[in-house]
Chains A and B, each alone.
Chain A
Amino acid sequence: MTEISLEALSPKREQPVPGEPENWRRFFSFSTDHKVIGIQYIVVAFVFFLIGGFLAMIIRGELITPEADLVDRTVYNALFTMHGTIMLFMWTFPVLNGLANYLVPLQIGARDMAFPRLNAVAFWMVPVFGVILMASFLVPGGPSQSGWWAYPPVSLQNPTGNLINGQFLWILAVALSGISSIMGAVNIVTTIIRMRAPGMTFFKMPVFCWAVMAAQTIQLFGLPALTAGAVMLLFDLSVGTSFFDPATGGDPVLYQHFFWFYSHPAVYVIILPVFGVFSELFPVYARKPLFGYKFVAVSSFVITGLSAIVWVHHMFASGTPGWMRMLFMASTMLISVPTGVKIFAWVATIWGGKIKLSTPMLFALGGLVNFLFAGITGIMLAAVPFDIHVNNTYFVVGHFHYVIYGAAVMGIYAAIYHWFPKMTGRMYYEGLGKLHFVLTFVGVNLNFLPMHPAGLMGMPRRVASYDPEFAYWNVLASLGGFLLGVSTLPFLLNMISSWILGEKAPANPWRAIGLEWLVSSPPPHENFAVIPTVVSEPYGYGKNEPLIASQMASTELTSELS
């Protein structure tokens, strides 16, 4: 079935760019190769990560003293709004889409994604709405200053009175980002369901693909709600409808439901692929099969299901009646069960293995420990009486930065190092990688741990100034923030110099098991000359069994010889 559709497609396919895969110009073209698009996503997203990080460092510069003395309050409010928006919509989602784009077809034994042109369109929308978002710095009145939640009525207040204002451009960019993500989700889910190599049943599929499919399913049911909310907000702002404006009979709490119905599951869109990365890396660097593979694989979909019924926990202090608070407290806490299954499985995978602490493993381990901490504070936040106290304080800011930076970004770094030889055909420098890890791990904990005590003492989030009692923790956090800024330098140096000058990478430098490691580094244009037939489960470390049919003969031969 899969092969038939591929054959039918291939005559219409564009010819590979001459000189591929060495020709670097293809990265600046409307390429339909999933590997090119994957790298385009990752690089563009990383540029925005640096911009968002720069904004974060101005924020930390303002917060190093209690008074609002570095930038004007309107500027500060624009900075944290844009920081959050850029980091989520321009960095985390695109970079994860890049990883999924690059890895999924290789891991399931396909030659490309199901819809290569749709794939390219989805990517090229990213720089478009990125430019729209950044352009809002140039309009009169400046960028949106209503936070990345854009809660009305604040988001509907338009002091300049212009039709084209920062909030307008913000909503436009977010809506376009939603459309791009829906395109990506349709493509990835279709690819995984329809284009797996012969023999690769769902329970022979790598956990990364499971996790990506679970995450992209969330995009499919969640994004329509956000997009609908954004369109209504746009109408309220620009043409004077009253969906959410209480002054004209609208309900501002209704917007919060639309927003969080997507934006809570969105954190699972982020963290699930990272769980997938952890599940891929721990077996490689501990030389053991993934413990409880089927439990780990299925638990991703349990998280997908539960993620749809927890959004009100962001609104415990909002216009939320008691019964709803209790109901969503229970559903939120249930998420810890499938998540716990994963954490315990990873620990059991590592336990008793032959551990090699190379850079990807260090990042994965650091990410796991940070995630463990974030998970524990997450359960605390689910407990309504405690959440009432820390809701909208720095405790929450600390919690989600542990998730997003401590776990997700560190997991993304782990993935970039692990698959860097595959993507570029070059090895990275291990020493710079380890330096990068140390700076990142120390920076994350120095930046985000002090936010918890500040929040417990009652420091609200989003403040440009604060009472002097919080100064101590904010100085520590700011130092950590600047350290995180510094931590990107060895990474950039490593990536750029290795890509140009690095040692040539073999097909499988980590002795890892998986279809992507059977092809050369970087893989040829159409990935697999012959589509492999998969005969065993992934992660067969220590079992000395063949992964695909063509290996069977040679493995039998070796076992006879030995």
Chain B
Amino acid sequence: MNLRLILKLAAIAGVMTAISLWVGQLAYTWMPVPASEEALLVDHLFSFLTTLGTFIFLGVAGTLLYSVLFQRAAKYDEGDGPPIEGNLTLEIVWTAIPLVLVIWIAGYSYRIYDEMNILGPMEHMHGGAAIAAPLTLAQATDAPEAPEAPEIIEVHARQWVWEFYYPVANVTSTELHLPNHRRAKLTLTSEDVLHGFFVPAFRVKQDVIPGRSIDFEFTPIREGTYRLRDSQYSGTYFAAMQANVVVESPDDYQQWLTDVAALSPQPGLNPSYDEYQVKVENRDNRPGWKTVEPAPYPLVNYSGAPVLPER
């Protein structure tokens, strides 16, 4: 009897494990196609968390469902269940298991964060003593060819338009161009309120804080066009504050920089200002309240195309 029970539980655990692993694999498809090294790491972590989470959910919800289906009181049964008040061993076990689990999850997340090394605020101010310093060194020595020092791109946020400045080529743009397989190094600044730099395909995000300049890094690994979105609520036209990010081969990137450097400044893309004009001229016939005025069109060498990336 006892052996049969153990076998039964083992079979259930086996089925649950199989389902959990399957859902964990599915989890890779729930996010945009990964387009940066960081995205690969985050996706592994999410798949792992989903696997574990599915197992726990099935275990607990399954037990509840079994009780609800098969342990109902008969219609006129006014009696009580067995007066079991607890079981110290069981209670200690189910305190200890989550403790071990979260230490495991936290350790794994720490390692992933270390590997990502996306910088972010203040590590710069602490003399560059990033948590991940040893790993970065290891990666640097492992690299077969030392890549040329990447250019720093300045990202300026204002209500409600993104503007990118390439200091070496002296190019400004309202579309962010990045060379593939090169570490992208950005400096994030805001002229007015909080904004958030968020490219879902790269799985990276950083609030942009007025009065501070924040270093931010990641490595694109897939050519294509992606969306940059403002992720920290910034006022009236917050949702319209998006821009395209173009990842291209280093040669194409260099070519682009050279080409657009020759272009004379022109008004860049600024959907929020376009929309504001409609409102000011009252062409939308919708009542609204007074808003902070959007910044005017920035003058840039390159504006980019106002089209959504293909999916």
Interface residues of A (CB under 8 A from B): 68, 71-75, 77-78, 140-142, 145-147, 151, 153-154, 157, 159-160, 246-247, 251-253, 286-295, 317-323, 325-326, 329-330, 333-334, 336-337, 340-341, 343-345, 347-348, 350-357, 365, 368-369, 372-373, 376-377, 379-380, 383-386, 388-389, 391-393, 453, 456-458, 460-469, 511, 539-543
Contact = CB atoms under 8 A, between A and B. Distances in A.
B63 interface: yes
B233 interface: yes
B61 A386 contact: no
B3 interface: no
A291 B67 contact: no
A279 to B, nearest CB: 13
13 contacts: A251-B211, A287-B73, A288-B83, A288-B84, A289-B84, A317-B205, A337-B99, A352-B67, A353-B81, A354-B81, A369-B64, A383-B106, A540-B83
Contacts of B49: 379-380, 383, 386
A456 B81 contact: no
A383 B105 contact: yes
Contact of B91 (A337, A341, A351): A341
Given A253-B209, A336-B98, A350 B64 contact: yes
Contacts of B132: 322
Given A288-B83, A344-B94, A326 B194 contact: no
Contacts of A290: 85
A353 to B, nearest CB: 4
Contact of B68 (A340, A355, A461, A539): A355
B79 A351 contact: no
B235 A368 contact: no
Interface string B72-91: 11000111111111110011
A343 B105 contact: no
Contact of A151 (B50, B113, B194): B194
A154 B120 contact: no
Contacts of B184: none
Given A317-B205, A389-B205, A458-B32, A353 B67 contact: yes
Given A380-B46, A383-B45, A460-B229, A541 B81 contact: yes
A392 B31 contact: no
B205 A391 contact: yes
A319 B212 contact: yes
Contact of B120 (A321, A330, A392): A321
A389 B227 contact: no
The 9 closest A-B pairs by CB, nearest first: A458-B200, A72-B288, A542-B80, A463-B239, A246-B211, A542-B83, A142-B289, A354-B73, A333-B102
B116 A385 contact: yes
Contacts of A323: 131
Contacts of B102: 333-334, 336-337, 379
A304 B299 CA distance: 53
Nearest to A537: B85
A141 B290 contact: yes
Interface stretch (B11-19, B52-60, B169-177): B52-60
A425 B102 CA distance: 47
Given A286-B81, A457-B31, A337 B289 contact: no
Contacts of B122: 319, 321
Contacts of B198: 392, 458, 460
Given A317-B232, A389-B42, 15 more contacts: A68-B239, A73-B239, A146-B233, A153-B194, A159-B292, A246-B210, A246-B211, A252-B211, A287-B79, A321-B120, A345-B91, A347-B67, A351-B63, A354-B81, A389-B46
Interface in B162-202: 192-194, 196, 198, 200-201
B42 to A, nearest CB: 5
A288 B72 CA distance: 13
A348 B90 contact: yes
Interface string B273-297: 0010001000010111111100000
A74 B291 contact: yes
B207 A318 contact: yes
Contacts of B196: 317, 392, 460
Contacts of B97: 340
Contacts of A463: 238-239
A326 B30 contact: no
A540 B270 CA distance: 68
Most buried by B among A347, A352, A354, A373: A354
A386 B42 contact: yes
A558 to B, nearest CB: 15
Given A292-B91, A295-B91, A319-B122, A388 B79 contact: no
Given A379-B49, A385-B45, A453-B30, A393 B80 contact: no
A125 B246 CA distance: 55
Contact of B123 (A147, A291, A321, A511): A321
A458 B113 contact: no
Contacts of B123: 321-322
A233 B92 CA distance: 46
Contacts of B211: 246-247, 251-252
A310 B10 CA distance: 37
Nearest to B41: A385
Contacts of B79: 287, 354
A389 B45 CA distance: 12
B64 A368 contact: yes
B222 interface: no
B128 to A, nearest CB: 12
A463 to B, nearest CB: 4
A392 B83 contact: no
Nearest to A158: B292
Contacts of A72: 279, 284, 286-289
B109 A288 contact: no
A28 to B, nearest CB: 35
A368 to B, nearest CB: 7
B220 to A, nearest CB: 15
Nearest to B90: A348
A467 B308 contact: yes
A218 B81 CA distance: 36
Contacts of A252: 194, 209-211
B31 A456 contact: yes
Contacts of B192: 153
B67 A355 contact: yes
Contact of B113 (A322, A380, A467): A322
A355 B196 CA distance: 50
Given A329-B109, A341-B91, A352 B82 contact: yes
B295 to A, nearest CB: 13
Nearest to B111: A385
Contacts of A365: 64, 68
Nearest to B233: A462
B113 A356 contact: no
A71 B49 CA distance: 39
Contacts of B53: 376-377, 379-380
A384 B73 contact: no
Nearest to B72: A355
Contacts of A373: 57
